[in-house]
Amino acid sequence: MSNVVADTRPVEEQALFNPAFLAVMIRRAAEEHEHRGGGRLLPVILAYLAVPLALHGPTRRQLPTHVTTQMGEWIRNHPDASAGLDVRARALRPLVSSGVTMALRHGLVVGEDGTLRALAIGRRPRGMARTAEVDACVCKAGFLGRWFAEQPDALTVLALWGLRP
pTM here is 0.89
Residue 165 lies in a domain: no
Range of the structural domain that residue 88 is part of = 11-160
Sequence-distant (≥ 6) Cβ neighbours of residue 113 within 8 angstroms: none
pLDDT tens track, the chain, 165 positions: 445 545 565 565 666 679 999 999 999 999 999 999 999 999 999 999 999 999 999 999 999 999 999 999 999 999 999 999 999 999 999 999 999 999 999 999 999 999 999 999 877 666 667 788 989 999 999 999 999 999 999 999 999 999 998
- Alpha-carbon dihedral angle through residues 44, 46, 51, 56, given to the nearest 10 degrees: 160
Residue 2 lies in a domain: no
Residue 6 lies in a domain: no
Return the SS3 of 115. strand
Residue 3 lies in a domain: no
Residue 90 lies in a domain: yes
Residue 111 lies in a domain: yes
> In the chain, how many domains are there?
1
Residue 4 lies in a domain: no
Residue 1 lies in a domain: no
